[in-house]
Amino acid sequence: MNDREEFSPIRWDDGLKLLDQTLLPREEAWIDCATPEIIADAIYRLAVRGAPAIGVTAAYGLVVGLRTAGEGQEPRERFAEVSELLGATRPTAVNLRWALERGRRVFDEHVDRGAAAVIAALLDWAHGLHAADVASCRAIGDFGAELFVAGDRVLTHCNTGALATAGYGTALGVITSSFRAGRLAQVWVDETRPLLQGARLTAWELGRLEIPYKIVTDSSVGILMARGLVDRAVVGSDRIAANGDAANKIGTYTAAVLANRHGVPFYVAAPLSTIDRDTPTGDQIPIEERPADEVTHVFGADVAPDRAPAANFAFDVTPNELITAIITEEGVLEPPYNESIAAAFARQAGEERT
Ligand code: MRU
């Protein structure tokens, strides 16, 4: 393991610090998260982003919340208040709800031992979640690399690297592992409008990792595939339904339809914490809609007529029949996903018991 691999956008140094991803790649500045309001704001404005990174941030956010409870405020009341504040920030990324729900179980188990004890237990748990997310990403990378063959040119969308997780990344973890195994020649990086997570963040990470890449506009996917320049595509997900339908950054569905049209394998890489078995199909996944000015403005510059109306869906849903396989820390899942997903959770439960 070298220092690049251990890179994480989330740090705990007797307090939470988050790398402000809105400033990348120009500036590397860390936000001091002294209150849960600062954390909720960082999640909402995408200073920290990517479903697994949001989940781990929320876990530490519960600790910060309890530490900053008002004089004489009941821990139960404070926990509910902070959990609601953090939970309201981003509706599609299920890792957020997943982490808050697990945090509640830890809280319930320890709260009767007093505020200091419950805070210590939650901090231990948050550190564990952080480490477990990195381990999941590494396993996803190893399983995913097996699907690649030497010389592959891979397309990816949005940012799914160390920045979007506790470290190493999901789809970008697969790309990293494949490159290191000598099976990857080049990455096509979709710029990912409107907030340019591909052009700003994925390109930044690939540069640090010394993996060859080219940025393309999102609308280039058709010509790249039509010309036979893409051998496979791998993306992340914010929420995968029980039937394998996967929500991810807007534009993913378009890329999946094109991949299907051109016979390009299309993989989704995600930890089991992104699979929401309470959501039967993609139709029930809530899709975040963000302010119109993210579309009408490009980094502060107004590119549309004054007061031009705009729609800003942050995610879309790729139906399971367009997904060749889902790469998880429990292995590569193949259709029918209802069955392979249930089996992966059963395997994980078995491992946790032993
Ligand atoms: O709006 P963002 O930047 O949080 O969207 C992120 C994505 O769409 C990622 O692909 C997804 O969260 C998986 S990150 C490992």
Query: Which residue among 24, 45, 49, 174 has the greatest number of ligand 1 atoms within 8 angstroms of its CB, and so is best to mutate?
Result: 49
The amino acid at 146: E
In a domain, 208, yes or no: yes
Q: Residue 306 burial by CB count (10 A; 0-12/13-18/19+): exposed, middle or buried? A: exposed
> How many Å lie between the centroid of ligand 1 and the Cα of residue 108?
30
- The alpha carbon of 347 is separated from its chain's Cα centroid by a whole number of angstroms, namely 23
pLDDT at position 4: 43
**142 domain residue, yes or no:** no
Residue 198 burial (CB < 10 Å; 0-12/13-18/19+)?
buried
Q: Is the CB of 237 under 6 A from ligand 1?
A: yes
For residues 166 and 225, membership in a common domain is answered with: yes
Same domain? 220 vs 334: yes
- The DSSP H or E segment spanning 3 is none
CATH number of the structural domain spanning residue 327: 3.40.50.10470
Same domain, 55 and 177: no
31 touches 20 (CB < 8 A):
yes
Say whether both 171 and 263 belong to one domain.
yes
User: What does the angle CA 200 – CA 202 – CA 205 come to, to the nearest 5 degrees?
Assistant: 105
Q: Which residues of the chain have pLDDT under 70?
A: 1-6
3-class state of residue 56 by DSSP: helix
Ligand 1 atom nearest residue 270's Cα: 15
Q: Are residues 168 and 194 in the same domain?
A: yes
Which of 75, 108, 137 terminates a domain? The answer is 137
- For the CA of 49, the nearest atom of ligand 1: 4
Same domain for 174 and 263?
yes
User: In this predicted structure, what is the pLDDT of residue 2?
Assistant: 43
Residues 229/151, Cβ–Cβ less than 8 Å:
no
Q: Which pLDDT value is given to residue 300?
A: 83
How many domains are there within the chain?
Answer: 2
Among 105, 137, 169, the domain boundary falls at 137
Q: Based on the domain organization, do 115 and 223 belong to the same domain?
A: no
- Rounded Cα distance between 188 and 271, Å, is 23
Residue 202 in tokens: 């994925």
Contact present, 292 and 191 (Cβ < 8 Å) = no
In a domain, 9, yes or no: yes
Q: Which two tokens stand for residue 267?
A: 């993989």
Nearest CA to ligand 1 atom 15: 160
The DSSP line for 101-151 is HHHHHHHHHHGGG-HHHHHHHHHHHHHHHHHHHHHHHHHHHHHHHTT--TT
Residues 112 and 47 in one domain: yes
Are 169 and 273 found together in one domain? yes
Q: What is the dihedral of CA 142, 143, 145, 148, to 10 degrees?
A: 170
Residue 158 and residue 255 in one domain: yes
The pTM for the full model equals 0.96
Tokens coding 138: 């590494």
Q: Rounded distance, CA 233 to CA 253, Å?
A: 12
The boundaries of the domain holding residue 249 are 147-353
Ligand 1 centroid from CA 354, angstroms: 32
DSSP 3-state of 180: helix
